[in-house]
Amino acid sequence: MSLAGHLRELALPDLLQIIALAEKTGRLDLTAPDGDGLIVFRGGRVIYAASNAAREALGSILVCRHLVSEATLRQALERQRSVGWAPSWCRWARSPTRRSSR
């Protein structure tokens, strides 16, 4: 299934919920005047998100909008780290008292 349209017709949170409930796998490409984005799903769950816009990381946005708790985000990032993947650019990926050597 392929979809194309404007988010003013269907809000992004609504679209993400549809993808999650339908347990879809694939990628969602987003374009905006200030940059492009990509969200990758597997079985309805977000497994990767990226943007070339100068914005905060997706996790930070979700926390700021109260869509996930800070504790839930930290647990998700810890799980990513335990399987060998944690983005070095993500401020939640490291303990605030411990600095990365990167």
Structural domain including 4 reads 1-53
Q: How crowded is the C-beta side of 99, counted as CA atoms within 13 Å? A: 2
Q: What confidence tier does 87 reach under pLDDT thresholds 50, 70, 90? A: low
Q: Please give the tally of structural domains in the chain.
A: 2
Residues 68, 48, single domain; the answer is: no
First-last CA distance in the chain: 41
pLDDT above 90: percentage of residues in the chain: 20
Instruction: Please report whether residue 99 resides in a domain.
Output: no
Residues 76-92 have a mean pLDDT of 64
pTM over 0.85: no
How far out from the chain centre does Cα 72 lie? 13
* Cβ burial 34-62 (10 Å sphere, 16+ → b, else e): eeebebebeeeebeebebeeeeebbbeeb
